Amino acid sequence: MATALITGASNGIGLELAKIHAAKGDNLVLVARNITKLNQIKTELESQFKISVHTIGKDLSLLNAAQEVYDELKQKNITVNYLINNAGFGDYGFFYETNWEKELQMINLNITALTHFTKLFLQDMVKHRSGKIMNVASIAAFLSGPTMAIYYASKAYVLSFSEAIDNEVRDKGITVTTLCPGPTETGFLEAAALQESKLFKGKKIAGAKEVAEYGYKAMMEGKTVAIHGFMNRIMANMVRFIPRALVVKAVRSIQGKTN
């Protein structure tokens, strides 16, 4: 029986991915800060699907968190077959006005924790010559984002890093998939204070369940980059042919707050 480790598993895309893996009969390792919520999910999924769920309450913005999770699983002799780096958050505002401590946490979570998890578990996957990794980026990975500069840059890192690693390990029976959702109904909007931006207000946006189903299918098929949504795929490819200065101006306009 395979085991999937999912970070940011207490809500949104991470929770929906946990449900999908559970329905497929996979055991789970769920990681998030809210251990109470994780244990509620554990009870529900174990009862419904007769699988084993191991929960770890951890703030992944702390620098040694990934190592601590890895060491705990080693001690419990749990082998991870699917690694899903889903945890992440954003912030909204001009860089010269935003809070540095929050931005440092964002960099540590969106970049450092994801990279460290990949490093640790990929080494085991290479030894076993099997395994799949999904790193959750965003359509933001293809753009520069005024008013969300660090978030967009962090997702560009995830995309570039994951594509390179996928190339390195594909011949060893391992695939690395980068999931790039567009705007999605999760707690992200509230956390990033984006409810009033023109990018989201009044728009119909994708549900976490459909994005998770799309991402799971892409990972199982071994896709390198999976962009959810037809219009998002068009945009991600179209921006390569538009002067970067115009793209940046367009993003600035779209992310401005509505009056």
- Per 3-state DSSP, the chain is made up of helix, strand and coil in percentages (nearest 5) of 55, 15, 30
Dihedral pair phi/psi, residue 137, rounded to 5°: -105, -125
| Distance, CA of 251 to chain centre | 21
Active site residue 155: yes
Cβ count near 213 (within 10 Å):
16
Q: How many Å apart are CA 101 and CA 95, to the nearest integer?
A: 12
Helix (H, G, I), strand (E, B), or coil: what is residue 256? coil
Burial class (CB in 10 A: 0-12, 13-18, 19+), 221: exposed
Q: Considering the candidates 70, 82, 92, 151, report the single residue annotated as catalytic.
A: 151
Cβ count near 82 (within 10 Å):
23
Q: Could you tell me the CA-to-CA distances from 204 to 184, 185, 236 in Å, in that order? A: 9, 9, 19
Cβ count near 250 (within 10 Å):
14
Q: Could you tell me the CA-to-CA distances from 155 to 21, 34, 139, 197, 220 in Å, in that order? A: 24, 24, 8, 19, 22
Q: How many Å apart are CA 2 and CA 25, to the nearest integer?
A: 8
Q: Considering the candidates 132, 155, 216, 223, report the single residue annotated as catalytic.
A: 155
Catalytic residues: 151, 155
